[in-house]
Amino acid sequence: MFRAYFGELHSGRLARLPFLGFLLLLSVLFVLYGLGIAFGIGLVEQVIRSDLSAAPGELLEQIDGTALALLGPLLLVFGLAKTNLLAKRIRDMGLPGWWTLLVIALAGAGLGSAMHASGVPLHESYPIHGMISGLLTLGLLLIPSGLFHPRARASHPAQLC
C-alpha cells in the first residue's frame, strides 16, 4: 500500500478500480486527520472557556510551534500521495503523468487568477474548484486504460469504433 502512494514516482500505473480504492482510502485518512485536529482544537477551546472574542488569540497561544511544524509536512505528505496516485492513473491511460498534472495545475491556477481578477470572492470560488476536481476524478475513473497509448489501441482495433 505504501508503494502505491509514494513509490514508483516515474513509472507506476494504476487501473481504474485500484485508483478508486486508494483515493477513497486516502480521503478517509485525510478526514480522520482533520477530525483529530478539530477534536484537539475543541479540547483546547473547552480548556479556555473564557471570553469567546479572545478565544482565537488564546487558542493560538496554546498551539505550540511543534504542532504547527508537524501540520505543514503532513499536508505535504497527503498532497504528494494524491498527486502520485493521479500521475499513475494518467500514465495508465497512456499520457505522461507528471507533465499532464503540471498542465492541469497551471490551468487551475489560471482559472483561479481569472476568477479573482473578475471579482469573484474567494469563498465563492471553492465550490467551482471542487466541482472541477470532482469532474477530473470522474474522468480518470471513466477513461479506460491505454486509451491514449497508440500501441494499446492498435492491438484492439474493435475498440476504435
pLDDT digits (tens, 9 = 90+) for 117-144: 888 777 777 788 788 888 888 988 898 8
How crowded is residue 86: how many other Cβ atoms within 10 Å of its Cβ? 21
What is the separation, in whole angstroms, between the first and last Cα of the chain?
37
Report the alpha-carbon distance of residue 132 to residue 19 in Å, rounded.
18
Q: What is the pLDDT of residue 158?
A: 47
pLDDT for residue 147 is more than 50: yes
Residue 94 near residue 152, CB atoms below 8 Å: yes
Residues in the chain: 161
Q: What is the pLDDT of residue 88?
A: 92
Q: What is the pLDDT of residue 161?
A: 42
3-class SS shares of the chain: helix, strand, coil, % to 5: 80, 0, 20
Q: Is 33 exposed, middle or buried (0-12, 13-18, 19+ CB in 10 A)?
A: middle
> CA angle 19-23-28, nearest 5°?
150
* Least confident span in 18-22, 30-34, 38-42: 38-42
Q: What DSSP string runs through 101-159?
A: HHHHHHHHHHHHHHHHHTT--HHHHHHHHHHHHHHHHHHHHHSPTTTT-HHHHHH-GGG
Q: What is the pLDDT of residue 13?
A: 86
Domain residue extents for the chain? 2-160
The cell for 44 is 483546547
